[in-house]
Amino acid sequence: MVKVGIIGATGYTGVELVRLLANHPGATLEVLSSHSYVGKKYSEVYPHMLPHLDLQMVDDNPDNFKGIDQVFLALPHGVAGSLVEKLPAEIKVIDLGADFRLANPREYEEWYEQAAPNAKELEQAVYGLPELKREKINGARIVANPGCYPTATILGLAPALASGMLVGDSLIIDAKSGVSGAGRGLALGSHFSEVNENFKAYNVGRHRHTPEIEQELSSVAGRNITVTFSPHLVPMTRGILSTCYGNLASGWNETKVREYYQEFYTKEKFVQLLPQGILPQTKWVQGTNYCLMNVVVDERTGRLIIISVIDNLVKGAAGQAVQNFNLLWGYPEDTGLLMLPQIP
């Protein structure tokens, strides 16, 4: 049994980690930390956990994590870097924030407007998208768990960019997310009466997930890829749908594209191409670690449209972190991730 600590256990990714790890057969939840609730029992913050788990919360002092094998960081960006430096070197780290995702510290500093983590830690970090980086994740000390939008988008576009089926070096990504992606922190933009029965775009062309998407797509494509990334807010709690647009190279049609995608993900449990004509819906993955997708070729305009969905808090955060945890500790990759979606 791997002894686990969660730093930032009361945010939405934190409580989702708790949900998944509480039932994980190879992990025991030993330490939960929280800035705001030190000394309180977890069920005082989340009464629904009363029957399930009731640890008392501590702060993020490294001493509190002695004897822990694996730490999950579920923190706002900018905090993880200095925290990881202080943790004993034998503790493995999965960071669900942004600090270790960008290999180039200058790019981090440009988009996040603050200092990147030290080079020493940054070099220990691997971008934790298992379907593309499985081998590197295996032996890593620090796993940089991908963002929610990047997970849906990179998985959707990777086969297209690996294959040469797209012409041009720039893509359009029109993405839509449920509100839980904005976290548990209070803000007018997450206030019920402002969000409910409302739909909007935000941070168009300047969302911080942009460089992460470009970094990974460029890596897959073997050339520099740029994206126009337009996030939108959907009046629902969970779910991300990413609609991606590219121009199809000559010689490709929907059948060939489908075959390539099918083959590309044939061994992946958590990524599924749907049958032709069945477009994915966010609810079909709610609460699960799956990414469902489909492709459409618009023959009138020569464009390829790829639509992919995930649960932003599972495959887009805590579930993918558990998948990485399984890779780090040698468990089958779907351990603790077998739940089916609730329909309806």
Active site positions, annotated: 148
Which residue in the set 253, 263, 278, 332 belongs to the binding site for its own copies (CB under 8 A)? 278
Which residue number, 62 or 341, has a Cβ lying nearer to its own copies?
A: 341
The site that binds its own copies (CB under 8 A) totals a number of residues, namely 87
**Nearest to 285, CA basis, from 254, 324, 242:** 242
Q: Is residue 160 involved in binding its own copies (CB under 8 A)?
A: no
Tell me the window of 14-22, 24-32, 72-80, 82-90 that interacts with its own copies (CB under 8 A).
Answer: 14-22
| DSSP at 289 | S
Q: Is residue 106 involved in binding its own copies (CB under 8 A)?
A: no
Q: How far is the CB of 113 from its own copies (least distance, A)?
A: 17
Tell me the window of 71-79, 109-117, 139-147, 221-229 that interacts with its own copies (CB under 8 A).
Answer: 221-229
Q: Is residue 283 involved in binding its own copies (CB under 8 A)?
A: yes
Q: How far is the CB of 142 from its own copies (least distance, A)?
A: 28
With beta carbons less than 8 A apart as the criterion, state whether 74 and 20 touch. Answer: no
Q: Is residue 200 involved in binding its own copies (CB under 8 A)?
A: yes
**Interface of this chain with its own copies, residues 73 to 102, rule: CB under 8 A:** none
Residue 67 to residue 115: CA distance in whole angstroms:
30
**CA distances in angstroms from 147 to 113, 197, 209, listed in the order given:** 18, 26, 7
Which residue in the set 25, 120, 186, 250 belongs to the binding site for its own copies (CB under 8 A)? 186
Tell me the window of 78-86, 158-166, 168-176, 216-224 that interacts with its own copies (CB under 8 A).
Answer: 168-176
Which residue number, 66 or 200, has a Cβ lying nearer to its own copies?
A: 200
Residue 49 to residue 274: CA distance in whole angstroms:
35
Q: Is residue 176 involved in binding its own copies (CB under 8 A)?
A: yes
Which residue number, 140 or 233, has a Cβ lying nearer to its own copies?
A: 233
**Interface of this chain with its own copies, residues 296 to 325, rule: CB under 8 A:** 296-301, 303, 305, 307, 309
**CA distances in angstroms from 174 to 7, 160, 223, 235, 319, listed in the order given:** 32, 17, 22, 16, 24
Residue 309 to residue 315: CA distance in whole angstroms:
10
Q: Is residue 204 involved in binding its own copies (CB under 8 A)?
A: yes
Residue 267 to residue 168: CA distance in whole angstroms:
29
Residue 76 to residue 105: CA distance in whole angstroms:
17
**Interface of this chain with its own copies, residues 243 to 272, rule: CB under 8 A:** 243, 245, 269, 272
Residue 188 to residue 195: CA distance in whole angstroms:
9
Q: Is residue 196 involved in binding its own copies (CB under 8 A)?
A: yes
Start-to-end Cα distance in the chain: 35
Residue 326 to residue 320: CA distance in whole angstroms:
10
Which residue in the set 197, 250, 251, 267 belongs to the binding site for its own copies (CB under 8 A)? 197
Q: Is residue 275 involved in binding its own copies (CB under 8 A)?
A: yes
Q: Is residue 188 involved in binding its own copies (CB under 8 A)?
A: yes
With beta carbons less than 8 A apart as the criterion, state whether 266 and 295 touch. Answer: no
**Interface of this chain with its own copies, residues 229 to 248, rule: CB under 8 A:** 230, 232, 234-239, 241, 243, 245
Residues 20-59 as x/- pattern, contact with its own copies by CB under 8 A: --xx----------------------xxxxxxx-------
Which residue number, 36 or 61, has a Cβ lying nearer to its own copies?
A: 36
**Nearest to 20, CA basis, from 207, 145, 138:** 145
| DSSP at 318 | I
Helix (H) or strand (E) holding 246: strand 240-248
